[in-house]
Each structure stands twice: as structure tokens, then as C-alpha cells.
Structure 1
Amino acid sequence: MVRIPVRCFANAGQVFHPFIGHNIIPGTIPIGTLLYHGTTRNAIPSEPEWTSTDPEHSLCFALGDGVGWHLTLAATRPLKVLYFDGSSAAKVPEGTMDIQDIIAWGEVQPERILDEDSRITDLCRWGKEFGIDGFARMEMDFEVMLCDFTAGVEVVSFLHVRVLWKDTNGFPPNRPVPAPGPDIWNRIVEAMHSGSWHNHHPGESRIVLDLAGLVSLYDIALAPSLVPVRAGLERQDHRVLGISSEDISQLMRKLTEVISRPDPGSGIDWKALTHVIVDRYADRLELVRHLLNFTSSDSQELLQRAKLVQTQLRVMLAPYLLDATVVPSADTPGLHPLQWASPMFRLCATTHTTAMTYQVPLMTPSERLLLKAIEDIMREICRVTTKMWAVGVTSGFDTLFPIELDGEPDVAQIMNDWRQDTQKLMSWLDWSIWIKCRPACGPEEICYLPTWPLNAPTPRQPPQDPQNTTDAPAEVNHLADQVGHPPEGSAIADAFSSIETPMEEWKRPQPKCVRRLPPYQF
């Protein structure tokens, strides 16, 4: 069963799903799209540098002594990019940079987590042959590692902006570094807030992904060496470290083929199809799970709740409920008790993809992988929901298909079985649309999923910043104006890596409401 796009197709280009990416997707940034770059220097970059898709993010890099420079660029032609999925800009040792390391350096190099200058330089050097303009990644918000600030973009403005309160006296060298003030926290919160706009459908629409060119390391034909590496591990613990040199070579050949291909593929809108599937089933499965979260010692209450669940199951299968359906009695010999429901299952599982089989000769290999994944997803959704519905019918819960019962059904056991089936299905699908704050956040809050750099554990043994003469992280000094110009692209929010979070909570984060107004708390 092909699992990869269970996550990728539903979440591509969305902020609200961590963590370690396994997919590379070519894309374009349309003409007229704005990109932003914040800096402490009065100079437009002449080397590869980082840009953001939202100014709230880039302004975090324009601190200096309270003022900085903010560059706005506009794409003058479609910019060719590669998108690394997951939290691919997070500087943590769990493997977020694995795929980038392979492309830049030919192997995973965990000790170079923070070697971002070399990473962007070597990625751009590799991509130049293929006309790649940049690489898209995600942290609190999306960023584009732009290879050339003079190619395919024009300057809209380059402004000297007031970012924070400006201390005209500066800080004496022997004076303690002040604690981050509310203005700094406001910048951080607004960067998070702008990122939250892309949490769910349609995701980051300014980066248009070409799913017909998806390259996935969950494709076991592409990277079979990772199968034993991932065996027994939860999804959050999967990473690319451990891939064989043979599979690395195969990956690079595949990537070269995808980004060089002249064939646009079948023309199927895979993103639209996958969102249709998510729209049809996500909130309905969530409602079923909610209804099943119920216990009662009153048998009539339990029966009424089971009938409510049955109605929702029938809603999901409504387009496929054949009038000719005959529900056999339980003692009919030679039949599996649920075999009568198989026509509904087949219709449910294949309706979205049957017509596409005629397009297979026109599909790219990536599209065929997507088709197989969607077929597997629909088969599993329909297998589980049809089985649950059919059990409800044979238990006398369905008013549309009434039957005569021989004895009373064990409603409590049926509800328990349904609960387990629903939870297993939703865990397997793992759709980002189900990541939300419960209860919903108030108007002064945003729903925040702990992610890098806030609440993140500090990378082990980070390289020393030669400009850092204290024990504080380099970016803390940057924020407090204790050093000169920091390395371009170092994130303001690295200053708050001291906001420690237990590793388990970091690796398996849960959304929570955080304030958009003072007093801030994470």
C-alpha cells in the first residue's frame, strides 16, 4: 500500500503539519508574486539569500539597533523552485535537513545542521544547471532560498524601516543584555500569525506545486533501503538518515529526470482531486468520532447514539446505495455476513479514479504513484466505512434498510468496535485538517502548533559563532545589538531557543491557543 501522499497530497504547501519531510516537489512562483528580505545592511544581496512570502517574517531579520533594511521583490517571470516538505527550515538534529544535505553534499551530514550558508550556496550551485531559481522551505512561515537577486525578480522597494524602539545611546559593552521586550515578542507573534494563514487549504498559494513531478522517499521502489530503517517507528520518528548510497544515486537520477522533463503529464488536477476527497470525508469522520465518544448505562440512549452514527455512515455512502441491495438474514448459508455490501464498497473505492485509468499512458511516473496512493486511500476509507455501515444495517440501526432481528444486538460492543475502526482509520490518514485547537481560540488568540524555532530543543553542539563572545546564543546577541552584522539569514526567533520544551512534546506537538496581545506566553 502506497502511503506517501496520505500526508503529502493533503498537506503540501501548508504550515500546519510538522515535521521531517520525505518529499521533494517542483513548483513555480507566479509572475508578480512579492518576496521579502530583511537585513541589517544597506545592501541588496549579491549571493544566495533567504526571502519570505510574508513581510511579518522577513522583518524579524531587520533588527540592527532598532532599525533595519527591508527589501521587497516582485517576480518578473515564473520562478522555478523546489519545495522540501515538512519543517524543512528547522535547525534540529532529528533529520529535517536530511534531503537538503543529500542534494547539496551527496550524503546526510547531521553535524552540519547549522551550516546554512554552505547549504544554500551548494543547493544553488547544484540547481543552476537546471535553471532552478530557489528552494522553498517552512518554519513558522514559508521562506524561499533565492539563488540570484538579479534573475527573474525586480526591486519594488528597499526601505530603511523602524522595527523596534531605537536606543540612540546604544548599550555599553559591560551592560547586561536586556530581556526581550514586548515589541520583539510582537514581531515573533505576528510572524507566527502570518504563517497561520496558510495552515489549511489552499495552503501557500504563492508557491504553485507541480504534483506530477513529486519525488518521494516513501516510494519503496525509489528508496528500498529506508524500509528497514523505518520499521517499527512512528511517523514522527522517520528520517532519511540511513539511506544507502545506491538509493541516493537513484534519488538524484530521479530528481534530475523530474526537473528536466519536457512532458507536462496527463493534465489531471491532483490537488483539486485530493481536496475533494478531504472535503468529502474529513469533517464527516470527525463527526463520527465525536458521536462515538459516548458512554451510557442506559441501553436506549446507547441505541439512539448508535443510530445517529449509522446515519452519518450512510451519508458518506449515499451516492453508492443501490436500490437492488438485498440484506440476507444472518443464517443464510454459504455467505460472508457482509458480502452483500461489496457492490457499495467497490463503487465507493473506485468512483474517483476509474476514469483516470484511461489516462495512465499519459501520466508521469510521479502521477502513477499519486494515482496508486489515492486508490489505496479510497480503498481504505471505503473498506472501513462500508464495513461499519453494513454492521449497523445487520444490527437493525438503519431505517433505509430495515431488517427483522433475531435477538438484540450488543450495542455497546458494536460502538466500541466502531470507535476503534474510526480511530485507526483517522490515525492512518493523518490529515492536517484535524490538527486544530479545541476549544477554538478566542479573538485575541491564534492556534499555534509548537514548531521551530519557538519551543524547540537547542541543537546539540552547535558551531560557535566567531562573533559571539558570550555564552548566549548568537542571535540573542544579534537582538541585543551586542555584535555587528550577524550572518545573513540567521533567524530572530533563534533567540528564544531557551524556551525549552520536553523532547516528547516537541516531537509530537499538540496545538494550543497563544495570545496575540501582551502579556505573551508560549
Structure 2
Amino acid sequence: AHLVFETVNSFLQHWPNTRMRNGHNIVPGTAPPGTLLYHGTWHSGLPPGPEWTATDPEHSILFCRNTNGEDGCWHLTLMTTRPLKVVYFDGSSAAKGPSGMMDTQDIIAWGKVQPDWAYEERDRIEALCEWGREYDVDGFVRMEMDFEVMLCNFTSSVRVVSSLTLAKPGTNPKASRMFEAIYAGSQHNRYPGETRVQLDLSGLVSFYDTELVPSLVPARFETERWTHRLLNISDEDVAQARARLGEVLSRPAYRSGSGIDWLALIRVVVDRYSERLEFVHHLLNPTGPDSGDSDNITDTAMKTQVQLGNMLAPYILVDVTPPSTLPKTKEAGLDMLDWARPAYRLCATTHTGMLKGGAMTSSEKLLLNAVHDTTREICRVVTKMWGLGVLAGVDQFMGTDNERDVHAIENMMKIWKKDIDELMAWLDWNAWVKCRPACGPEEMCYLTTWPVGFPMPHRPRPRQPENGDPRSPSPSQPPVGEEPIPTRPPRGGRPPHGEPAEDWERPQPRCIRRVDPYTI
């Protein structure tokens, strides 16, 4: 449940989907009329078939070309003329590589995960658009250094705003262009993220849905989220997931579910607890030289207790009080906290207790369970910590007749620290992943972003059609002998890979320069 919660909380945000690259969700959505899309190309005409467009021009300029020996390069700006029906793949789903970033697309395009086909982008876009034609899908939304729309048709849903020959960049063009694309993507780092696409969460298809895809459960048992992918999915679960997505894309508007704004509900929970839990964690990890003194221990415990009480304040009824005296034996255990159960129940059920599943889609029931189980665990831990603080005599408003014991308080704080550490690790909210200390004015906080800092890929030889005939050039490619249109940052001109970053597999936040010399 907590994985469904956090992945949905991260939709269309660059930061969390750069950190956890292997997406596990497919979501229908729309891009409204008047949305600008950008296409870097090698000629002035419209592509006759499916092609890639960017939501920011800094991204599409990476693919800008001119094959006639002239200065400058061609850059196309488009505007949507009607709502685009799109399908969103979360994670770094446009980043090329065999480590799982494209698994969900493979399932839809080819019916199975194809790790060796990561660079078969032309086949991929054509297969996805062919699959989506039955459901009137206009395009597919993905993310690498920024967001993109794989547009299936350039004549039925967009019109040309401009087709321009742009000037060549100045000095150090490769590094500066790549940085600017990454910087443009960083503008969508946090909620609300990329706002030009609106998702319909009532149609969510999640590969963390254990009822939809039970075959993935055993392989993930006791494994870290970094390693999760779809390699072990069964054929039956593939068929079920594809059928669910087809059903979602085919249903009429009047069957779109309960009308609950699930993202707003998830954000209410995140906004309520994110900074408060982080602050409690800060209080319990003092760094001063006198932090171990008995007076400081008691002071820290009382300050922490205030924060715990603030989180529970809407749920502490007037009759929620501890017994006046308590046994000091360890055997009493958590039964000593029975008096706090009413506060826990209210905290755990207030957001979801009145939501019923009658009009909900199967996706909404999954979301309801995700919110319910996540808030329940938060409330369990916070109520336990608060109750222990009351019993230890560090609460300003209630307590027992037992004398305050500094050693008992110190032991309690060890329990507190363990509890908050385990809760925050379990939740793993992206809001807590940040540069510490904050970056300077000429810097930005950065996570290693494909393709920069990744190992140079081993690219298998292009696949041949099943009949063995050489594959003919795709319609959007230039004539033979001229530079093919790129489906990734230019490699002739390779992007500034350099040495692989130490954290390319599990990126950690760090500050990088925003001005030359760049440090990506």
C-alpha cells in the first residue's frame, strides 16, 4: 500500500521519478487544447508518422539538426487543437537501458519485458501507437531529463505554431544544452510537477496491485524498491494488466468512478505529516556537544512530545487519559497504551473511514487501501510515541503520578528514534530527499540523470523483421547517406557521459553548478 501511495504521490514529478527510475504505473490522461509541444528535427516538414515531442523547448533542441550543410537547425513548435488522449508511464520511462526503466512500456508494446530492446525506439513508438489506435490514444507521456509526448499523429490533433531554423549555440554547446534540458526538467521536480498533463487516477493500472499482478509478489519479498521491476511477471498477469488498461481506455465518461480527488487526498496526508515527521526526526538527532546531558535529554523529549501531540491534537478526546499509576515492569509492554487507542482509531480512520467502495472503480479501491494503510501506520507509530511520552512524564498537559526518571526518558528516546527512523524509511517520501545544506545561488540540487553519468551502453545490433528482409527506413528518417533523425541525445556529438557517476544506480542529491564550467 505504501508503494502505491508514494508512486501516485510522485506522478509527473521529475525528482522522485529520477530517483526511483523503474516505473510501475500506467495512467490514462489528457493534454488540454492550447498545449505547446516542441520537436527538434532535420527538415522543415511535419513528420508523416509517430514522433517524439517535448513539453519544454530546451529538451527538443537537443534533437535539432540540419543535414544540408547550412548553419542552424530546424525546430518545430506545435499546439494541440483538442484534448489529447494520452497514456502516462511513470518512472524515468524514456531513459534507455536494460535495468527496468522501460518494463511497463514493453508489456504494452510487445506483451513481455524485452531488456535487450531498450534502444529499439522506432519499433517501440510504432508498436505503442498501433496498440493505442483501438482506443483512440493520441500519444504516450514519458520522462528522461524532461517530459515528452510520443505523438502518434501530427495532423489530427496539433497545428504548427512555427517551424524555425535556430542559430547554433555558443561555446561549449554540448554541456550547456544538456544542462539546460536537465534544468528545464528540474522545474517540474516537486508537486504539482508537469501540469500540462492531467491524469485520471480512477483508471490507474499499478504493478504494485497485488490482486492484479500477484506473480510479482514473491520476487519482491524483502527486496529494496530500487531493484523492483517486472521481469518475473507471468503471462497471465501481463494479459490481465493489458486487459485492465484497455477496459479503462474504452469506458464511457459516465463510468469514471466516484469523483473523489485522490491526488488531493494523498497530498492532504503528505502535507499534514511530511514536515512534522521530519522535524521529529531532527529533534531526536541532536548534534550539540551537550546533547547527552540529563537536562538536555529531558528538554529534547519535552519538545518532541509537543510535536507528537500537535499531530494527534484533532483526535485526543477529553477522556483520553492514562491511569494515574502504572507498573514499572517491562512485562506490561504496549498494554500500557490501551488508554490511547481511541486517539489512534480516530487518527487512522478520519480520512478514509467514510469512503465507501460502491461507486469506485477497481483502481479507486486500490487507492483507498493505499491511503488507509499508509495513514494507519503513521498513526500507529505517532500514537505509540506520544503515549510513551505521556507515561514518561514529558507531556505538558497530562501524565501519571509516577516520578520522572531521566534514565527511563533516555531509553524511551531510543525507542522513539528507532520508531521514527523505521517509519520514515518505510514511507520513503520524496519530500525528504534534498540537498543538505541547501545549494548556493549559482547551484541547483541534482540527482544523477540519464544519460549523463551512466555507463556507456552496450547496444545490441538492430533487430531484423521476422521475414529476414532488411528493415526499410522509417518515414521520418532522412534519405540514405544523411544523418538519421535521433531518438535520443545526439551521439556524434555524444552527450557528456564522462566517467559513470558513483551513484548512478541509486542517485543521491548533490549540488551542481548552474554556470560554466558545468559539473553534471
Q: Normalised by the size of structure 2, how large is the TM-score?
A: 0.90
Aligned match for 1:154, one of 159, 170, 176: 159
Matched, 1:278 2:276: no
For the residues of structure 1 that align with 2:504 and 2:418, how far apart are their CA atoms?
A: 27
Name the aligned partner's letter for residue 152 of structure 2. Answer: C
For the residues of structure 2 that align with 1:194 and 1:462, how far apart are their CA atoms?
A: 31
For the residues of structure 1 that align with 2:33 and 2:345, how far apart are their CA atoms?
A: 44
Q: Which runs of 5+ in 2 are unaligned?
A: 465-480
Q: CA deviation at 1:193?
A: 1.1
Q: CA deviation at 1:280?
A: 0.6
Matched, 1:365 2:328: no
- The answer (yes or no) to whether the contact 1:114–1:463 under 8 Å persists in 2 is no
| Farther-moved stretch of structure 1 (295-304 vs 282-291) | 295-304
For the residues of structure 2 that align with 1:298 and 1:460, how far apart are their CA atoms?
A: 57
Q: CA deviation at 1:145?
A: 0.5
Matched, 1:3 2:8: no
Q: Could you tell me the percent identity over the aligned residues? A: 51
Q: CA deviation at 1:139?
A: 0.7
Q: Which residue of 2 aligns with 1:298?
A: 293
Q: Which residue of 2 aligns with 1:213?
A: 203
Q: Which residue of 1 aligns with 2:399?
A: 402
- The answer (yes or no) to whether the contact 2:320–2:343 under 8 Å persists in 1 is no
| Farther-moved stretch of structure 1 (183-192 vs 214-223) | 183-192
Matched, 1:245 2:242: no
For the residues of structure 2 that align with 1:232 and 1:323, how far apart are their CA atoms?
A: 41
For the residues of structure 2 that align with 1:461 and 1:150, how far apart are their CA atoms?
A: 33
Matched, 1:385 2:382: yes
Local SS of the residue matching 2:269: helix
Aligned match for 1:230, one of 185, 204, 220: 220
RMSD, aligned CA: 2.1
- The answer (yes or no) to whether the contact 1:81–1:133 under 8 Å persists in 2 is yes
- The answer (yes or no) to whether the contact 1:3–1:218 under 8 Å persists in 2 is no
Q: Which residue of 1 aligns with 2:27?
A: 25
Aligned match for 2:302, one of 280, 304, 307: 307
Q: CA deviation at 1:38?
A: 0.8
For the residues of structure 2 that align with 1:194 and 1:492, how far apart are their CA atoms?
A: 18
How do 1:136-175 and structure 2 match up within 5 A?
Answer: 136-165=141-170
Aligned match for 2:410, one of 397, 409, 412: 412
How do 1:488-503 and structure 2 match up within 5 A?
Answer: 488-492=486-490, 495-496=494-495, 498-501=497-500
- The C-alpha deviation readout for 1:328-352, integer Å capped at 9, x for no partner, is 1213999910011111111111111
Aligned match for 2:181, one of 184, 191, 199: 191
Q: Which residue of 2 aligns with 1:48?
A: 50
Q: CA deviation at 1:400?
A: 1.6
Local SS of the residue matching 1:195: helix
Q: Which residue of 2 aligns with 1:433?
A: 431
Residues 402, 163 of structure 1: alpha-carbon distance in 2 compared, 3 angstrom cutoff: farther
Name the aligned partner's letter for residue 485 of structure 1. Answer: E
Q: CA deviation at 1:66?
A: 5.6
- The answer (yes or no) to whether the contact 1:92–1:457 under 8 Å persists in 2 is no
Aligned match for 2:317, one of 312, 318, 322: 322
Q: CA deviation at 1:88?
A: 0.6
- The C-alpha deviation readout for 1:342-378, integer Å capped at 9, x for no partner, is 1111111111112222xx2111110011001100011
Q: CA deviation at 1:188?
A: 1.3
For the residues of structure 1 that align with 2:89 and 2:264, how far apart are their CA atoms?
A: 21
Residues 312, 407 of structure 1: alpha-carbon distance in 2 compared, 3 angstrom cutoff: closer
Residues 159, 133 of structure 1: alpha-carbon distance in 2 compared, 3 angstrom cutoff: same
Residues 334, 246 of structure 1: alpha-carbon distance in 2 compared, 3 angstrom cutoff: closer
| Count of aligned pairs between the two proteins | 487
- The C-alpha deviation readout for 1:35-76, integer Å capped at 9, x for no partner, is 111112222211111111111111111144762111111111
Name the aligned partner's letter for residue 448 of structure 2. Answer: P
Aligned match for 1:442, one of 420, 440, 443: 440
| Farther-moved stretch of structure 1 (219-228 vs 488-497) | 488-497
Matched, 1:76 2:81: yes
Q: Which runs of 5+ in 1 are unaligned?
A: 166-180, 467-482
For the residues of structure 1 that align with 2:439 and 2:463, how far apart are their CA atoms?
A: 39
Q: CA deviation at 1:407?
A: 5.5
Name the aligned partner's letter for residue 114 of structure 1. Answer: Y
Name the aligned partner's letter for residue 27 of structure 2. Answer: I
Name the aligned partner's letter for residue 284 of structure 2. Answer: L
For the residues of structure 1 that align with 2:157 and 2:418, how far apart are their CA atoms?
A: 53
- The answer (yes or no) to whether the contact 1:34–1:73 under 8 Å persists in 2 is yes
- The C-alpha deviation readout for 1:227-282, integer Å capped at 9, x for no partner, is 11222321000100121111111111111111112211111011111111111111
Local SS of the residue matching 2:436: coil
Local SS of the residue matching 2:60: helix
